[in-house]
């Protein structure tokens, strides 16, 4: 084992797109676990649109990452050394140790074997839970309703659409390429999918695919796509505001949204953050794990190797180069 | 009785501010009630911001008024002639016969005596019900929470604030003059009131008056005031979207609203229309009538005389010249 822990440090708050020097890859010594602590080696690092929010000092749902700190991120790790009798080397644990190769922590949640590790970082992790609670708890889909999902080929969106199908809804995805659209319809059972990059008139396209209006919009995009959704709401529509990825790299004022139809259609927009649902993760796993085992819910992962790839890969989320969950494989899975 | 029924007819859909010729005051013969019908004489006509919406062909919650039709509006009337055994001349009835002096209708809801008639058009009518259901059903105020009300000296806003006080909340109004603000604090028990016309920095003013953030915003204004509210939301805030009076005379695109904090604060915006609550009016009257009788809820009315004053008076709502409910007294109350 090299005595080197590569870490991505936030040096400057990015303005607009992230620029060279905003984050820096540095080498530190591997930490030595103190009494009762465990040393964990990062296997997978989750890249998420919200990473961009954490780099900024905009008003947000958690404190931003401080300058000089290791960049924050969800991780799946393996125990390398343990001073804690509850853990032994080789245990796979759910961690939140950020963009680095090693960390010493007092404890972590052990993950049971029998599941491909990337599933813990996607469909059976925070990503799947975001789709599950956002759609079911806020959206409350009823059979026969029409559900629109933006960033539909993304990690969350692709699962939202499949759950909505299991609940008997018509599901219309919005994604950024014909290939993604074909995949969502053919492999994931979406009823239709609109390529927002080639579609000239999103309002008309949504009207065509949602002739009875949109009952639920699971919103990951914001901006112009949300405006087109707003013009096609059904009465009593619910907009589940999960993210607004189109806006995170904005400089200056973010685009405003015309909320007139929230009034006219007696509709609702509600924001949520998955950390509020941590106490209810058991419910989610109990329903989602069988769906995944039975093949009723499928999931994609895009895996890029090496901690050095973390920053260069983040932009894939904003340009739509990933399909499904984007992970950095920082080190090998345990044998 | 003159055989003349003066009526305001919608001739053109206004663009921006209403202009001469958009509506026209015409004289028609007083209608003759058919078999089973009653002839009603309008006593009070309700003027409401939503009248402006009904004149336009924007997407809205009811069909717009057709060109050539009598302008729509809520009314309180007295029965003049009756071919219906359930009604007799002198009965006071709740009607929706619009901007005219007389109408023949098959039936109408009789209003019990003992209440000043303007109360039926305000605190004990759709106006009071809008305040009641919007605040309690959508806002769900808890003791100790902070409630902000825009257009606070208006018919709905002034009642919202008083109900919120009865529910143990801190209430901060936003109104358009120092006199209105003083009145709301001194006479209606608001904790504070901000004059948005003289306040230079609404964000800072709301921050000062709502040090723990805004838990509930009862939104009647929209536009810049709503943006300032958005920047001061407490976690899990509820925005009850009742109206956006600042936008109804807009030409072209309405102002967009920055909804980022809906996401960041896990907040909610929900629109509603009081007609959805008609089946629950009994609940409202059962709680509100005693409050009004006991003087716990006060109400203002601004009364202008004559059907010819309807259109010239409507603009008072948009320039803030009324306090409380704006009514046109079309004819004398029955003795």
Instruction: Decide if B311 is inside a domain.
Output: yes
Do B93 and B160 belong together in one domain?
no
Does A259 contact B265 at a Cβ distance shorter than 8 Å? no
Instruction: Decide if B40 is inside a domain.
Output: yes
Q: Which of A254, A266, A267 sits opposite B258 (nearest CB)?
A: A254
Instruction: Decide if B271 is inside a domain.
Output: yes
Instruction: Output the pLDDT for position A225.
Output: 93
CA dist A4 and A210 (Å) reads: 54
Select from A269, A275, A276, A278 the residue whose CB has the most chain B CBs within 10 Å, as the one to mutate to test that interface: A269
- Give A253's pLDDT tier (boundaries 50, 70, 90): low
Angle made by CA atoms A62, A64, A69, in degrees to the nearest 5: 125
Number of domains in chain A: 2
pLDDT, average across residues A248-271: 84
CA dist A154 and A299 (Å) reads: 10
Torsional class of B154: left (φ above 0), alpha (ψ -120 to 50), beta (otherwise): beta
Above 60 in pLDDT, residue A246? yes
Do A56 and A102 belong together in one domain?
yes
Q: What is the mean pLDDT of chain A?
A: 94
Q: Note the pLDDT tens digit of each residue in A117-161.
A: 999 999 999 999 999 999 999 999 999 999 999 999 999 999 999
What DSSP designation does B100 have? B
Instruction: Decide if A67 is inside a domain.
Output: yes
Cβ-based contacts of B276 with chain A (< 8 Å) = 266
To the nearest whole Å, the CA of B247 is away from the closest chain A CA by: 9
Length of chain B: 335
Do A78 and A147 belong together in one domain?
no
Q: Note the pLDDT tens digit of each residue in B69-82.
A: 999 999 999 999 99
Give me the CATH number covering residue A199: 3.40.50.720
Instruction: Output the pLDDT for position B1.
Output: 56
Instruction: Output the pLDDT for position A251.
Output: 67
Does B256 contact A255 at a Cβ distance shorter than 8 Å? yes
Instruction: Output the pLDDT for position A234.
Output: 97
Give the alpha-carbon dihedral of A22, A25, A31, A36, to 10 degrees: 50
Say if CB A206 and CB A229 are below 8 A apart.
Answer: yes
- For A260, the 3-state DSSP assignment is helix
| Closest residue on chain B to A255 (Cα) | B258
pLDDT, average across residues B205-209: 98
Do A106 and A245 belong together in one domain?
no
- Give A113's pLDDT tier (boundaries 50, 70, 90): confident
To the nearest whole Å, the CA of B280 is away from the closest chain A CA by: 17
CA dist B199 and B129 (Å) reads: 31
CA dist A123 and A189 (Å) reads: 17
Share of chain B above pLDDT 70, in %: 98
Give the alpha-carbon dihedral of B61, B66, B70, B76, to 10 degrees: -10
Do B158 and B241 belong together in one domain?
yes
Q: What backbone phi and psi angles, to 5 degrees, belong to B61?
A: -90, -10
Q: Note the pLDDT tens digit of each residue in B2-18.
A: 689 999 999 999 999 99
Instruction: Decide if A130 is inside a domain.
Output: yes
Instruction: Output the pLDDT for position A252.
Output: 62
Instruction: Decide if B286 is inside a domain.
Output: no
Q: What is the mean pLDDT of chain B?
A: 94
**Long-range Cβ contacts of B114-117 (<8 Å, 24+ apart):** B115/B289, B117/B43, B117/B44, B117/B76, B117/B92, B117/B333
pTM higher than 0.90: no
Give me the CATH number covering residue A76: 3.90.180.10
Do B174 and B33 belong together in one domain?
no
Do A118 and A133 belong together in one domain?
no
HSE value, Cβ hemisphere, 13 Å, CA-based, for A52: 23
- For A178, the 3-state DSSP assignment is helix
Instruction: Output the pLDDT for position B253.
Output: 60
Q: What backbone phi and psi angles, to 5 degrees, belong to B19?
A: -115, 160
Instruction: Output the pLDDT for position B62.
Output: 86
Exposed (0-12), middle (13-18) or buried (19+): which is B319, by Cβ within 10 Å? exposed
CA dist A46 and B295 (Å) reads: 60
Q: Which of B281, B141, B160 is nearest to B220 (CA)?
A: B160
B110-124, B132-146, B186-200, range with the lowest pLDDT: B110-124
State the maximum Cα–Cα separation within chain B, in Å, rounded to a whole number. 63
Share of chain A above pLDDT 70, in %: 98
- Give A60's pLDDT tier (boundaries 50, 70, 90): confident
Above 80 in pLDDT, residue B106? yes
- Give B320's pLDDT tier (boundaries 50, 70, 90): confident
Above 60 in pLDDT, residue A1? no
Q: Which of A244, A260, A263 sits opposite B260 (nearest CB)?
A: A244
Alpha carbon separation from A272 to A21, A243, A257, B263 (Å, rounded)? 32, 9, 18, 6
Select from B134, B249, B263 the residue whose CB has the most chain A CBs within 10 Å, as the one to mutate to test that interface: B263
Containing structural domain, residue B96: 5-122+300-329
Say if CB A55 and CB A311 are below 8 A apart.
Answer: no
| Closest residue on chain A to B268 (Cα) | A270
Above 80 in pLDDT, residue B99? yes
Do B140 and B115 belong together in one domain?
no
Above 70 in pLDDT, residue B252? no
To the nearest whole Å, the CA of A270 is away from the closest chain B CA by: 4
A89-103, A211-225, A249-263, B63-77, range with the lowest pLDDT: A249-263
Q: Do the strands A92-95 and B5-10 form a parallel or antiparallel pair, or are they unpaired? A: unpaired
Instruction: Output the pLDDT for position A320.
Output: 86
Q: Note the pLDDT tens digit of each residue in B17-41.
A: 999 999 999 999 999 999 999 999 9
Do B26 and B52 belong together in one domain?
yes
Instruction: Decide if A334 is inside a domain.
Output: no
Instruction: Decide if B152 is inside a domain.
Output: yes
Interface confidence, given as ipTM, is: 0.84
Do A309 and A325 belong together in one domain?
yes
Q: Which of A59, A268, A272 sits opposite B270 (nearest CB)?
A: A268
Does A269 contact B257 at a Cβ distance shorter than 8 Å? no
Do A269 and A166 belong together in one domain?
yes
Do B194 and B244 belong together in one domain?
yes
């Amino acid at each position: 084992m090299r005595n080197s822990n590569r870490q991505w440090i936030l040096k400057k708050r990015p303005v607009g797109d992230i620029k060279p020097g905003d984050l820096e890859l540095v080498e530190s010594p591997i930490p030595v676990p103190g009494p009762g602590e465990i040393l964990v080696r990062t296997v997978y690092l989750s890249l998420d649109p919200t990473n961009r929010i954490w780099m900024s000092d905009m008003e947000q749902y958690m404190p931003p990452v401080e300058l000089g700190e290791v960049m924050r991120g969800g991780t799946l790790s393996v125990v390398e050394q343990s001073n804690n009798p509850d853990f032994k080397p080789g245990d796979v644990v759910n961690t939140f140790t950020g963009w680095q190769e090693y960390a010493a922590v007092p404890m972590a949640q052990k993950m049971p074997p029998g599941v491909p590790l990337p599933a813990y970082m996607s469909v059976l992790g925070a990503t799947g839970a975001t789709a599950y609670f956002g759609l079911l708890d806020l959206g409350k889909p009823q059979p026969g309703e029409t559900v629109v999902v933006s960033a539909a080929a993304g990690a969350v969106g692709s699962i939202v659409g499949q759950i909505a199908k299991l609940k008997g809804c018509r599901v219309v995805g919005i994604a950024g390429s014909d290939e993604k659209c074909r995949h969502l319809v053919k492999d994931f059972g979406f009823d239709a999918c609109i390529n927002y990059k080639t579609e000239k008139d999103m309002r008309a396209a949504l009207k065509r695919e949602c002739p009875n209006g949109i009952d639920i919009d699971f919103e990951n995009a914001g901006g112009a796509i949300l405006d087109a959704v707003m013009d096609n709401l059904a009465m009593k529509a619910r907009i589940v505001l999960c993210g607004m990825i189109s806006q995170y790299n904005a400089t200056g004022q973010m685009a405003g949204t015309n909320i007139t139809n929230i009034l006219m259609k007696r509709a609702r927009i509600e924001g949520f953050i998955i950390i509020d649902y941590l106490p209810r993760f058991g419910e989610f796993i109990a329903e989602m794990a069988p769906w995944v085992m039975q093949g009723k819910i499928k999931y994609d992962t895009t895996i890029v190797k090496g901690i050095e790839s973390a920053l260069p890969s983040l932009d894939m989320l904003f340009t739509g180069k990933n399909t499904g969950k984007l992970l950095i494989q920082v080190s090998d899975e345990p044998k």
